[in-house]
Every structure is written in structure tokens, then in C-alpha cells.
Structure 1
């Protein structure tokens, strides 16, 4: 099976999309991440849901997790306020990471190898500069575990 056959339609967001809207999309659809495109629709990155969660946690709590138990519920309710006025671009890691992308004719093993190497739950399936769809880790497992 080739990547083009495994690819599914998947929500994407642009670099300059609203961060809170992207977080809501992740939450409402219980997605592992989102493919991030430029204005032309060309994939640029993947925004893992875990990166959004990390953004919500104050830096001092990331440095010392024992402080999390000291914060009251009103503080916890306000963590999403950090997303207000931010763009998806601001949630992406500062260091440049390789975009998880595969070619339309790549095999299931090539797709799995890309996901494993980059530790990413999504890969963009490309034909030239055109995004054909996305393969999630759960989709890949579903196909790999289905007897042929």
C-alpha cells in the first residue's frame, strides 16, 4: 500500500491562524496534532497537541513541576488566556524541525520510518508541492494491523 492510498483528509491551519482556534480544533476533534501550512497551502510544519499543552504551562512550573500543586483552580482556569492574540506560528518550536512529509508512492514501512525517526504522530502526503492528505499514527497502525 502506498501513502496516497493511506492518506485522509485532515484539518490544517495556516502559520498565521489564531492559536486559540487551533487549540479548540485539536480539543474538539481529539487530534494528535495539526499540519501547518503557509498562505499558499504548502505544508510547513506539524503542531503537536503536546506542544500546545506545553505552551499553556507556565515556565516556572515546567522547571519545577512540584509548583503545579500550589496553583489554585482560578489560575488553572486562566491558562488558556495565554493563547489569546497568539498565532499558530508562536506555538511552534523555535528550532527548525524537519517537516514530516512523505511522497505519494512511499510504502507503509517508509511512512512508519519517517514517523518513528521524527517522533511525530502525523505525516503530510505530498505529490510535488501539493498536499494530498495526512496519515496519522493511528491510521497507520489500523492499516498495518488489518489482515490482507
Structure 2
């Protein structure tokens, strides 16, 4: 069995404060080709993990989530204005408008199975490791899966060998 815990996989990751505009958050994600970004509250603690699908969800005002056909009846200029206004709003305002927004976080001693479970449950490609030291330490799904594949190819998956980052 592979011994891999969350704090061994966690690494520094770009984070943005909740007062950043949605367009700035999106720009960081797109420029860095990131699967998501960590949003920090005003005290610097992780408040949310946002993936691109979650960002798209924040762009969409509530009436359009409830009734997607509304988008078909609006003129294109009105639709563009709605999206532009959302892009200029602070991310914290958009997060607070949604129902309870949980973010994917795991303790530093979490096993790889616990990390995968948390990411799956939250549908997030990122998990913040909340006791892995200062700063937003994050596990990316691609890093986790790469380590599992590496261990499998080395024959250490299921063999009791440890895996170090």
C-alpha cells in the first residue's frame, strides 16, 4: 500500500483575496492554465476553491440558473452586459449570493483515498490542505493522479512502499 498523505502532496498555489474581481480571478486561471484557484478571506484563510465550472456558475445570475430559456429571449447586447457586470464584481459578493459554498479542504494527515473522496464530493480539481503550514497549500488532482500512476508503474502501489514528494 502506498503511504502518501496530503501534506506530502501539497504545494504553494496561486490564491486571490475575496475582494478581487471575477475577471481578475479568471485571468489568473486562464493565463496560468490552472484547474482552479483558491479564494482567501480577509484574514488570509482559504474561503473557497474555484474551478472553471464554478467560475462559469458565478457568471450566471440566479434567474438563468433556474430557467435557462431566459437566455434565448434576451437580445445579445443585454446578455453581454449581464456577463460584463458579473466579471467586474468582487468574487466575495458573488460567493455570498450563492447558497452555502463549501470548499474542498483536507487535513494534512489525510490519506490519498480521503483526498480523492473530498475532491469527488466537492467536484473540485483542488483541495486545500489546512494544516500544511503557512499559505494556501493545495493538492491538484493532476498531481495526485500522477503520483498514483508513478507508484503503480514502480510497483509500489499496494506493496507497502512509501512515496515522498
Runs of 5+ in structure 1 lacking a partner?
none
2:34 matched to 1:16? no
**TM-aligned CA deviation for residue 67 of structure 1:** 7.3
Partners of 2:135 and 2:90 in 1: CA distance? 22
Relative to structure 1, the CA distance from residue 96 to residue 61 in structure 2 (aligned partners, 3 Å threshold; closer, same or farther) is closer
Matches within 5 A, 1:1-148: 1-57=4-60, 80-92=83-95, 94-127=98-131, 130-131=134-135, 133-146=137-150, 147-148=153-154
Residue deviations 1:91-144 (CA, integer Å, cap 9, x gap): 326111333111112111111111112222110012178445101111111111
Q: TM-score, normalised by structure 1?
A: 0.78
Q: Which protein has the bigger strand share?
A: 1
When the two structures are aligned, how many residues end up with a matched partner? 148
Residue deviations 1:67-92 (CA, integer Å, cap 9, x gap): 76888877776665223541011332
Runs of 5+ in structure 2 lacking a partner?
155-165
- Greater RCO, 1 or 2 (C-alpha within 8 Å, sep 6+): 2
The range that moved more, 114-123 or 126-135, is 126-135
Q: TM-score, normalised by structure 2?
A: 0.71
CA RMSD of aligned residues (A): 2.7
